[in-house]
């Protein structure tokens, strides 16, 4: 697997000008800073919670775009032609992109929160945010590996927009809620990152919420892993030709 990790790091760092690499690094920092845009003077977990799902979606799009380009360029075929094991192909991507984006985005955000408010609540919130962050990355990597086009990168963004609408309109504690999330199909949205983070932003962070977030993550990660694995194992629509022809 180390071969694939090295090759992926080589692929995403080469072929770009120094200026291009600087812009990408600055972009990650700008996103980290933008996470606090709700209240720049109080960069605590409550501030982060309101913007974090969308920022996590945007940052995961970067991973989706890089993986999608791998398919669009057909360079992903080299891994298949090398006889790569499907599990390895999923894990190397998870390792590369989770590591890179954790360092480039998540750690700076956490550092700011901890410097401003080094409390247990902040640590608990960081735990929940990381679960959400991983969930977004598993989702985008799983979807991109399944549909094998750069378009996979846009799925988390669209999903987060929908989730946000439900989280805002149906938040249980909000007196102005438009619909009730306690029953029916809409109650499913209570298990999604946007709602979880909105609850945190409203000061409802507790162990139950973290456990719920963890369960949600495990279910979604398992589903995405299964999708990506089955897609490779059964060779669902492997893009083998430029264009849409198989």
Partner 1 sequence: MADSVITMNNITKRFKKAEVVKNFSLDVRKGSITGLIGPNGAGKTTIMKILAGLIFQTSGELQFYGSNDLDSHRKRMSFMIEAPIVNYNMTAYENLSYIRYIRGYPDEKRINELLDIVGLGNTGKKKAMKFSLGMRQRLGIAMALLTKPEVLVLDEPVNGLDPEGIVDVRHLLQKLAEEQGVTILISSHLLSELSELCTDFSIINKGELIENLSLEELQDKCKSHISVRTNNIEKTAAILEEKLSIGNYKVMHSGEIEIYEQLDAVERISKTITDNGCVITKLCESGRSLEDYYLEKVGGRHE
Q: Residues 11, 38, 50, 87: which binds partner 1 (CB under 8 A)?
A: 11
> Tokens standing for 122?
């902040």
How many CA within 13 A on the CB side of residue 105?
30
The answer to whether residues 160 and 132 touch, using CB atoms and an 8 Å cutoff, is: no
The distance of closest approach from Cβ of residue 3 to partner 1 in the complex, given in angstroms and rounded to an integer, is 4
User: How many other CB atoms are found less than 10 A from the CB of residue 129?
Assistant: 27
Cβ nearer to partner 1, comparing 5 with 168: 5
Distance CA 200, CA 126 (A): 11
The distance of closest approach from Cβ of residue 153 to partner 1 in the complex, given in angstroms and rounded to an integer, is 18
Q: Residues 27, 33, 50, 77: which binds partner 1 (CB under 8 A)?
A: 77
Q: Does 82 bind partner 1 (CB under 8 A)?
A: yes
Q: Does 14 bind partner 1 (CB under 8 A)?
A: yes
Q: Is 158 helix (H, G, I), strand (E, B) or coil?
A: helix
What is the torsional sign of CA 191, 199, 100, 120? negative
Cβ contacts of residue 97 below 8 Å, gap of 6+? 63, 66, 67, 137, 141
Q: Nearest-CA neighbor of 28 among 78, 79, 101, 131?
A: 101
Cβ nearer to partner 1, comparing 25 with 40: 25
Q: Does 177 bind partner 1 (CB under 8 A)?
A: no
Q: Does 83 bind partner 1 (CB under 8 A)?
A: yes
The answer to whether residues 180 and 170 touch, using CB atoms and an 8 Å cutoff, is: yes
Q: Residues 15, 118, 183, 184: which binds partner 1 (CB under 8 A)?
A: 15
Q: Nearest-CA neighbor of 112 among 38, 45, 164?
A: 45
Stretch that binds partner 1, among 2-10, 30-38, 114-122, 192-200 (CB under 8 A): 2-10
Cβ nearer to partner 1, comparing 77 with 102: 77
Spell out, one character per residue from 215 to 234, where the chain touches partner 1: x when CB under 8 A holds, - when not: -------------------x
Alpha-carbon radius of gyration of the chain: 19
Q: Residues 7, 24, 34, 168: which binds partner 1 (CB under 8 A)?
A: 7
Q: Does 99 bind partner 1 (CB under 8 A)?
A: no
Residues 16-75 that bind partner 1 (CB under 8 A): 16, 73-75
Q: Which residues bind partner 1 (CB under 8 A)?
A: 3-4, 6-7, 10-11, 14-16, 73-75, 77-85, 234-235, 238, 240-242, 246
């Amino acid at each position: 697997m180390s071969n694939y990790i090295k090759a992926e790091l080589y692929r995403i760092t080469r072929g770009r000008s120094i200026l291009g690499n600087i812009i990408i690094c600055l972009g990650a920092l700008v996103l980290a800073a933008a996470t606090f845009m709700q209240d720049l003077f109080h960069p605590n977990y409550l501030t982060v919670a309101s913007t974090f799902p969308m920022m996590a979606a945007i940052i995961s799009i970067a991973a989706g775009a890089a993986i999608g380009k791998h398919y669009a360029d057909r360079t992903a075929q080299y891994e298949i032609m090398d006889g790569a094991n499907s599990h390895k192909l999923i894990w190397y991507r998870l390792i590369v992109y989770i590591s890179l984006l954790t360092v480039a985005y998540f750690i700076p955000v956490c550092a700011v929160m901890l410097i401003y408010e080094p409390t247990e609540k902040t640590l608990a919130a960081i735990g929940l945010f990381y679960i959400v962050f991983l969930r977004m990355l598993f989702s985008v990597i799983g979807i991109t590996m399944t549909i094998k086009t750069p378009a996979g990168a846009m799925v988390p963004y669209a999903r987060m927009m929908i989730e946000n609408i439900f989280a805002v309109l149906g938040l249980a504690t909000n007196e102005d809620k438009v619909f009730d999330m306690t029953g029916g199909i809409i109650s499913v949205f209570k298990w999604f990152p946007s709602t979880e983070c909105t609850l945190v932003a409203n000061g409802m962070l507790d162990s139950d919420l973290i456990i719920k977030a963890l369960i949600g993550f495990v279910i979604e990660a398992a589903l995405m892993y299964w999708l990506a694995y089955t897609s490779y194992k059964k060779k669902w629509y492997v893009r083998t030709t430029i264009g849409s022809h198989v």
